[in-house]
């Protein structure tokens, strides 16, 4: 199993890499710095990997992770090289759909199709909880950052 050698990620990878041993599959963790790890993902040189993918738009995740790899950047992080032309067509239609309701329906259909295909297997979903007093206004970015310049106390 390959993973990004950031403390939180490495601890998660240790737990995930130990799980297959419970059913008789031997696994070994290979943590790497980002300069080595991410090229392995983009070049599909991993058999099992854990990495986070945070986006600001619902289209970015499916496009990067589930789309068939293409010259336009689709499938850049599709390390397993999953490919489904119907899924690609749905993903391609999302960013140009002007109707919010229709766009939401396209996203839902794409994610359902990906789940039905078992395009990827997310071993866990990290949930962050932020608590603030009512007098504090803050913008929390999708990458978990909380820029101080965007914190306002009334």
- Express each pLDDT in 15-53 by its tens digit: 888 988 899 988 899 999 989 999 998 898 988 888 877
User: What is the pTM (predicted TM-score) of this model?
Assistant: 0.74
Helix count (H) and strand count (E) of the chain?
5, 5
- Express each pLDDT in 56-78 by its tens digit: 788 998 999 999 999 999 999 99
* Domain residue ranges in the chain: 1-52, 54-125
Q: Does 145 have pLDDT greater than 80?
A: no
- Mean pLDDT over 118-139 rounds to 79
77 contact partners, CB below 8 Å, separation of at least 6: 41, 42, 51, 53, 64, 65
Residue 130 to residue 140: CA distance in whole angstroms: 9
Q: Give the pLDDT confidence score for residue 142 in this predicted structure.
A: 65
Do residues 2 and 40 touch, judged by C-beta distance below 8 A? yes
- Mean pLDDT over 9-13 rounds to 84
51 phi and psi angles, rounded to 5 deg: -160, 155
């Amino acid at each position: 199993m390959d993973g990004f050698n950031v403390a939180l990620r490495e601890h998660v990878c240790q737990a995930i890499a130990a799980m297959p041993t419970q059913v008789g599959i031997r696994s070994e963790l290979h943590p790497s710095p980002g300069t080595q790890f991410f090229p392995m993902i983009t070049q599909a040189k991993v058999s099992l990997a854990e990495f986070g993918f945070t986006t600001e738009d619902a289209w970015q995740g499916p496009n990067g992770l589930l789309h068939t790899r293409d010259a336009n950047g689709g499938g850049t992080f599709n390390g397993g090289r999953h490919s489904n032309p119907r899924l690609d067509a749905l993903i391609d239609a999302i960013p140009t759909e002007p109707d919010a309701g229709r766009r939401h329906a396209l996203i839902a259909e794409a994610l359902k199709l990906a789940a039905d295909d078992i395009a990827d297997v997310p071993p866990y979903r990290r949930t962050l909880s932020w608590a603030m007093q009512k007098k504090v206004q803050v913008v929390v970015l999708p990458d978990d950052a909380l820029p101080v310049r965007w914190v306002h106390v009334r």
